[in-house]
């Protein structure tokens, strides 16, 4: 009897991989460091790799969904970025590699060594270090003029619905999101992207017509991350199609400032992240109306599950960390205080 005839007799083997991410990363980097010629023993990149091995991350398994090749590439790109920054700043005395890793590791899951996000150049599924994509930047809808028509929250709604109903059938996902006026083709494309990125799992034990989905630890992690980390809000806003009035109000830090010019990233990050989050909240309020609530009830779904996953404690901690940096520089603090006064007056 051939393999195809015997396939029903096979059972999946679930390998326990929790906790091995850091071990794999460290072993690979140790092997790499041993191959470096003696004449490059003192190169700065080598010191950065050594520091990454020393640094203990809490996220090695949770945010990679066991894609360790992707994890390795992301860490390599982090090392390259920190090395670039060291030389870009003129090899400053007291430049702490460990502090740089602590500062950039979280956002590097998203940036992957880049200075900004450009989703057009990012493949939906990649082993080259891209742990996640811009939750708010991808859509296929167009309006009557053929211009892109963003639906900013489709990935968020998909993750919320699948988390609320583990093992939900794909047909039910389409039926529920149709109530939001989301086209079935867009639901299919965005669901596939979440699967290929390891944020949801897809199973069809009784054939493709009965595909079921559940959220992964990685999906839960990024669902919270994109709404509660001001760095993620800042960088994703710059790669999202926004109304012109909002875009012009954003404060954008220059990538290559002129000599003696400050990037002003700490205050600009706070301002832009808050404005973008307020915009997302406004969009969500428009969508979650009484008519939709009635239709969802008929499907046995509570509209409350689609409230944005904002965790005040986590978001406050992220903002406070950047405010602390602003307080150490009078010019940063001045920018932030001026904006707060103007923003409060507008409201």
- pLDDT by residue (tens digit) across 80-117? 999 999 998 889 999 999 999 999 999 999 999 888 88
Q: Are 302 and 292 in contact (CB under 8 A)?
A: no
Give percent above pLDDT 90 in the chain: 57
- Per-residue pLDDT of 297-307, as tens digits, reads 999 999 999 99
Q: Which among 121, 142, 171 is the end of a domain?
A: 121
Residue 25 · residue 72 · CB < 8 Å: yes
- Collapsing DSSP to helix, strand or coil, 169 comes out as strand
Identify whether the C-beta of residue 157 lies closer than 8 Å to the C-beta of residue 105.
Answer: no
Burial-class residue 103 by CB neighbours within 10 Å (0-12, 13-18, 19+): middle
> Which residues have C-beta within 8 Å of that of residue 252, sequence separation ≥ 6?
238, 268, 272
Tell me how many helices (H) and strands (E) the chain has: 15, 3
126: left (phi > 0), else alpha (psi -120 to 50), else beta? beta
**Is 235 within 8 Å of 107 (Cβ atoms)?**
yes
Tell me the average pLDDT across 62-78.
87
Q: Which helix (H) or strand (E) holds 53?
A: helix 44-54
* Cβ–Cβ under 8 Å, residues 223 and 311: no
Tell me if residue 145 falls in helix, strand or coil.
coil
Same domain for 301 and 158:
yes
- For 199, the domain range is 154-346
Does residue 148 sit within a domain? no
Place of tokens 């060291």: 86
The answer to whether the beta carbons of residues 275 and 242 sit under 8 Å apart is no
Q: Tell whether 322 is covered by a domain.
A: yes
Q: Is the pTM of this model over 0.75?
A: yes
Structural domain contains residue 111? yes
Number of structural domains in the chain = 2
Q: Is position 300 within any domain?
A: yes
Report if residue 3 sits inside a domain: no
In a domain, 149, yes or no: no
| Alpha carbon distance 252, 239 (integer Å) | 12
Sheet holding 168-169, edge to edge: 168-169, 212-215, 200-203
Q: How many C-beta neighbours within 10 Å does residue 164 have? A: 14
Query: Which of 326, 309, 311 is closest to 251 using CA atoms?
Result: 326
Q: What band does 334 get if pLDDT is binned at 50, 70 and 90?
A: very high
| Residue 167, in any domain of the structure | yes
Q: Which helix (H) or strand (E) holds 249?
A: helix 244-249
**Cα separation, 97 vs 102, whole angstroms:** 9
pLDDT, tens digit (0-9, with 9 covering 90-100), for 188-235: 989 998 998 899 999 887 666 688 999 999 999 999 999 999 999 999
Query: Which of the pair, 64 or 4, is modelled with greater confidence?
Result: 64
For residues 95 and 159, membership in a common domain is answered with: no
Within this chain, do residues 335 and 193 fall inside the same structural domain, yes or no?
Answer: yes
d(CA 236, CA 234): 6
Q: 318 and 251 in one domain?
A: yes
Same domain, 160 and 308: yes
Do residues 172 and 306 share a domain? yes
Asked if residue 65 belongs to a domain, the reply is: yes
Percentage of the chain exceeding pLDDT 70: 85
Q: What is the mean pLDDT of residues 269-292?
A: 97
Please report the pLDDT score of residue 208 as a whole number.
65
Q: Which two tokens stand for residue 80?
A: 């390259």
Verify that 177 and 96 share a domain, yes or no: no
187 and 304 in a single domain? The answer is yes
Same domain, 105 and 246: no
Same domain, 74 and 216: no
83: how many CB neighbours lie within 10 A of its CB? 19
The answer to whether residues 111 and 254 belong to one domain is no
Q: Dihedral (C-alpha) 341, 248, 250, 330: value to the nearest 10 degrees?
A: -50
- Mark whether 112 and 159 lie in a shared domain: no
């Amino acid at each position: 009897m051939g393999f195809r005839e015997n396939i029903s007799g096979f059972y999946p083997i679930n390998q326990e991989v929790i906790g091995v991410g850091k071990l794999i990363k460290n072993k690979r980097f140790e092997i790499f460091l041993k191959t470096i010629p003696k004449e490059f023993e003192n190169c700065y990149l080598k010191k950065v790799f050594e520091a990454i091995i020393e640094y203990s991350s809490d996220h090695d398994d949770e945010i990679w969904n066991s894609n360790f090749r992707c994890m390795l590439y992301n860490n390599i790109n982090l090392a390259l970025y920190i090395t670039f920054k060291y030389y870009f700043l003129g090899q400053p005395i007291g430049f702490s590699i460990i502090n740089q890793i602590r500062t950039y590791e979280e956002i590097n899951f998203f940036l992957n060594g880049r200075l900004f996000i450009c989703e057009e150049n990012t493949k939906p599924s990649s082993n080259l270090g891209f742990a996640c994509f811009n939750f708010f930047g991808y859509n296929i809808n167009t309006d009557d003029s053929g211009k892109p028509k963003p639906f900013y929250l489709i990935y968020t709604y998909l993750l919320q619905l699948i988390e609320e109903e583990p093992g939900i059938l794909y047909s039910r996902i389409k039926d529920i999101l149709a109530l939001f006026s989301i086209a079935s083709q867009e639901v299919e494309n965005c669901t596939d992207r979440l699967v290929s990125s390891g944020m949801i799992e897809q199973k069809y034990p009784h054939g493709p017509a009965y595909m079921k989905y559940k959220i992964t630890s990685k999906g839960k992690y990024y669902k919270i991350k994109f709404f509660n980390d001001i760095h993620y809000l800042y960088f994703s806003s710059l790669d999202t199609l926004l109304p012109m009035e909002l875009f012009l109000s954003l404060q954008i830090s220059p990538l290559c400032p002129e000599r003696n010019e400050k990037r002003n990233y700490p205050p600009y990050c706070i301002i832009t992240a808050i404005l973008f989050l307020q915009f997302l909240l406004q969009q969500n309020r428009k969508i979650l109306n009484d008519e939709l609530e009635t239709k969802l009830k008929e499907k046995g779904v509570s509209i409350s599950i689609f409230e944005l996953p904002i965790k005040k404690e986590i978001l406050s901690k992220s903002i406070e960390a950047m405010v602390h940096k602003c307080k150490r520089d009078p010019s940063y603090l001045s920018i932030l205080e001026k904006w707060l006064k103007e923003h409060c007056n507008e409201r």
